[in-house]
Structure 1
Amino acid sequence: MNLWIRVRHIGPLAAITTVALAAAVAVGRTAIPLPSSTDGLLQGIPLAYVLPLAPVSVLMLGLTHGPRAHEDTAVRPLVGYDTALIAVLCAVTLAIGGGTALLGIQPLGPAVARNIVGYAGMALIGLRTLGPHASMAVPSALLLASALVGAPGTWWAWPLGGPAVPETWVLALTMLAIGLTAFVTSPTRR
């Protein structure tokens, strides 16, 4: 178990998740100006929507870092542990994000948590389709495409949707469900 904790980078994952959530609270609605083809020359996207890429990157590093030969012959069901790790990360961030909104600390808190959930699902899809080294390209590319060509309210640009838009939640949770299914059923994870 200690090896799993070390290999999966649980300590750094907890630290970077805490830092990302605290930074999201601290930056508020501070926007990053990015070029946009739909909203004039520059479109500002909240920094809080970009910060969730950090904990998901550490999660993916941990999930792909282990020695394959050891994991294939492990007595414990590592895919179950890994799935539980993903579920705990998502549940904790959803609870904290929802709490920050309920307490009036950060109204974008639920959207930050939603983006962690959605980015994790997309990174898991990328892990299955592109491999371990390019898995983070999928959520990063969607965020960049959303900022560059996604008009406000565009269904596929869910990372930039507000925290109260139901379609964004459905899409993020769908990405997580598809990603977890791809992760659990991957031939290299059994």
Structure 2
Amino acid sequence: MTLWLKARRIPLLAVGLALYAGVAIAAGSLTANLPTLTSSGAAGVPLMLFAPLPACAALIFCLESGSPGAEGTASRRVARYDQVVIVLSGVVALTIGYGTAVLRSAPVAEAAGRNMLFLTGIMLCARWLWDGRIGVLAGIAWVIMVTLIGFNARREPYTWAVIGLPPHDIAGMALSLTCFTLGALLLASRKKSKTVSG
């Protein structure tokens, strides 16, 4: 356990979550005029969409650290530890989101935790298919894609965009939890496949 904590650089994840909290508190209900392909000119995009990225990237970086060769001898325990830290990160993200919504009187912040679950799932799935760097890029690319084509001409979010949906949207939460769970489960299968191939 101690070696795992050192190898995974958990303090970096704490920094990522702190940045996420800072961005969420600073952003509140603020929007930025960004280019969009679904309406004429620029449109107001909630800055809260970008809040989860530091924490998600930090989590992936932590999972990528360590020695795969050494972990192969205890892959089951390592995968479980990794899954625990993923779940705890999600719980902390949800707590920060709801806390920010109350602190800043910004209901949109309630969606920040849900969005972190979804983006973490996207990054974990991409990491399973390719590697951690591609995973982080996939999460960033998703946010950019949503800002460009995730809203219709009336600035209503499409369901597939997920992170642009209202905080209490049932479909958004269901898709986020599904993606998050899938990513966490794939983590274990990735560890096993590495062990077998090694």
- Scaled by the length of structure 1, what TM-score is found? 0.90
Cα pair 1:24 1:112 within 8 Å, conserved: yes
Distance 1:14 1:189, change over 3 A: farther
How many positions carry a matched residue from both structures? 190
Determine the structure 2 residue equivalent to 1:64: 64
- Scaled by the length of structure 2, what TM-score is found? 0.87
Higher helix share: 2
Cα pair 1:25 1:106 within 8 Å, conserved: no
Partner secondary structure for residue 108 of structure 1? helix
Deviation digits for residues 43-82 of structure 1 (CA, Å, limit 9, x no counterpart): 2222221020111101000101111111112387100000
Distance 1:78 1:148, change over 3 A: same
Are residues 1:169 and 2:173 paired? yes
Cα pair 1:31 1:46 within 8 Å, conserved: yes
Distance 1:189 1:134, change over 3 A: farther
Cα-Cα RMSD:
2.0
Determine the structure 2 residue equivalent to 1:107: 107
Are residues 1:182 and 2:186 paired? yes
Distance 1:36 1:140 in 2: 16
Distance 1:124 1:75, change over 3 A: closer
Determine the structure 2 residue equivalent to 1:45: 45
Q: In percent, how many aligned pairs have the same letter?
A: 27
Distance 1:100 1:28 in 2: 8
